[in-house]
Amino acid sequence: MSDAEQLSDEGLVRHYLRLADALRIGVVIYNNSVVSKLWMPPHLMARCAEHPNIIADKENTSDVTLYKTMRDAIDPAKMTVLCSLGDLQFAYTAALGCPGFVSMTANFAPELSLALLEAADACDFLPTVPRLVSEGGRTRQHRKAARPACGSRNASHSTEVPTDPRSAPLLGTSEHEGHRRSPPRGVS
């Protein structure tokens, strides 16, 4: 039996609460069952949202109904539930109240990610999604070629600071890059 299978609901919540108690920065829970083999259900995420230092859920589900279930269970004044699967998935979750997304595409085609945020604000995805689908394939081809050149830069909407494990966070950044960016929309 794996560690994930042995982890109780209470142990999972306690893990994140202890982290949040120990850190002086906001904690974002990356709810990614693909990597962890564990998906934190909404009732447990809602308990974590009660901690003032747990500020967001980077929700990594491709099922928009699961995203909506999570979003409905969380008080948005306590925690932001972001779309973790990027630009195209955000086109669906935005209609369900998703305030923002994490975008790998922003590293290579930031104008597409920004156009998608603007489309969500205008509630009009028709001009943007076909462009995202057609140009998205091109940007995926460039990701592998550009990855060594871009080093540890990871332009997510949540922090825009280096998070690649190949270098420690904030090492090798300029003074300007090292300052915390504005939080995503919906996070104060």
68 is catalytic: no
User: Which position among 30, 67, 68, 92 bears the catalytic label?
Assistant: 30
Cβ contact 96:64 at 8 Å: yes
Q: Given 58, 78, 92, 144, which residue is catalytic?
A: 58
Residue 20 and residue 128: Cα distance in Å, rounded?
A: 38
Residue 92 a catalytic site member: no
Containing 30, the helix (H) or strand (E) segment is strand 27-31
Burial of residue 24 (number of CB atoms within 10 Å: 0-12, 13-18, 19+): exposed
- Separation of alpha carbons 159 and 180, rounded Å: 7
Q: Which residues are catalytic?
A: 30, 58
